[in-house]
């Protein structure tokens, strides 16, 4: 264990969790930091899942305590996100995750465009009970996002938040619901990584401790600042995710 590397991981873990606690995207910071230690990509991904599970749990708990989570909905969807994430992580061990990158770029771009053009979208909650067709489509979408988190991961928080916005939640409540399900998908993927032995516990637990602090600070800041802060952060992180995915995709084929 290198103390200097450990310190860097703790700092970057806090920053990643502060952002990730609301709209996701913390992997943009934490995964490159773990890769910079020289560990193999599979170990970096597994270690990141360990650390981010602590962060997403802390953030989810903060939103639950602030009554920004619809417990009835997330309790029913939690097992789905958990199981689908295990399936996605398993498929990722058989197929290169790059297969989903073009789709991720397109989906994130559509999310961004829709959010920018819907000026007052998500300012207030208009959620009402879903009819059967809406419910089926929503469950399918949540299941796919859980699978995506296990398979590739980048943008999961944005996709989950967008899904809850689509059925009428405001940005803050959508963020709270999204973090609970994001914890479920993190936990599912982590389970498979542990079974496969793809986790560095020393770095993962150290970064996880920093992510607990970062997630608590970020979620509390968002709860105090309200919907407008979450909306701006959501747009900024989505833009960064699109740019990162495009950069990785172009670099791979040049």
List, in order, residues 6 or more apart from 3 with CB less than 8 Å away: none
User: Torsion over CA of 45, 50, 54 and 60, rounded to 10 degrees?
Assistant: 60
Cα torsion 151, 155, 161, 164 to 10°: value is -40
Bin 24: left if φ > 0, else alpha if -120 < ψ < 50, else beta: left
Report mean pLDDT in 10-residue bins for the chain, 254 residues.
85 91 83 87 89 94 93 95 93 72 79 79 80 92 93 83 91 92 95 93 94 94 85 85 82 69
Contact status, residue 183 vs residue 234, Cβ threshold 8 Å = no
Structure tokens at 172: 């803050």
Please tell me the distance from the alpha carbon of residue 21 to that of residue 211, in angstroms, as a whole number. Answer: 9
Task: Please give the pLDDT value at position 254.
Answer: 63
pLDDT score of 100: 66
d(CA 140, CA 15) in angstroms, rounded, equals 32
Burial track 34-45 (b if 16+ CB lie within 10 A, e otherwise): beebebeeebbb
- Take residue 120 and report the two structure tokens written for it: 């007052």
> How far is residue 218's CA from residue 211's CA, in Å, rounded to a whole number?
10
Task: Identify the pLDDT of residue 130.
Answer: 86
Is 154 within 8 Å of 245 (Cβ atoms)?
A: yes
User: Which tokens is 166 given?
Assistant: 């689509």
Distance set, CA 233 to CA 19, 47, 160, 167, 227 (Å): 8, 26, 15, 20, 10
Q: Where are the alpha helices (DSSP H) in the chain?
A: 3-23, 27-35, 41-65, 71-92, 101-117, 132-151, 156-166, 171-196, 201-225, 227-253
Q: Tell me if 59 sits within 8 A of 22, measured CB to CB.
A: yes
């Amino acid at each position: 264990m290198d103390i200097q590397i450990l310190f860097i991981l703790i700092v970057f873990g806090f920053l990643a969790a502060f952002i990730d606690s609301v709209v996701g995207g913390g992997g943009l910071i934490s995964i490159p930091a773990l890769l910079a230690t020289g560990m193999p990509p599979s170990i970096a991904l597994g270690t990141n899942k360990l650390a981010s599970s602590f962060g997403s749990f802390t953030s989810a708990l903060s939103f639950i305590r602030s009554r920004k989570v619809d417990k009835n909905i997330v309790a029913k969807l939690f097992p789905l996100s958990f199981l689908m994430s295990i399936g996605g992580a398993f498929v990722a061990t058989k197929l290169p995750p790059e297969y989903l990158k073009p789709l991720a770029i397109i989906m994130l771009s559509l999310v961004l465009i829709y959010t920018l053009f819907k000026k007052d979208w998500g300012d207030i909650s208009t959620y009402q009970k879903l009819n059967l067709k809406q419910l089926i489509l929503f469950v399918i979408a949540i299941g796919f996002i859980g699978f995506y988190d296990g398979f590739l991961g980048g943008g999961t928080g944005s996709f989950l938040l967008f899904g809850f916005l689509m059925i009428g939640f405001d940005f803050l409540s959508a963020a709270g619901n999204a973090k609970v399900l994001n914890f479920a998908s993190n936990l599912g993927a982590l389970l498979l990584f542990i079974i496969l032995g793809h986790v560095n516990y020393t770095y993962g637990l150290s970064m996880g401790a920093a992510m607990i602090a970062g997630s608590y600070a970020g979620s509390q800041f968002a709860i105090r600042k309200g919907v407008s802060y979450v909306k701006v952060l959501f747009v900024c992180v989505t833009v960064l995710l699109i740019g990162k995915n495009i950069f990785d995709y172009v670099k791979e084929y040049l």
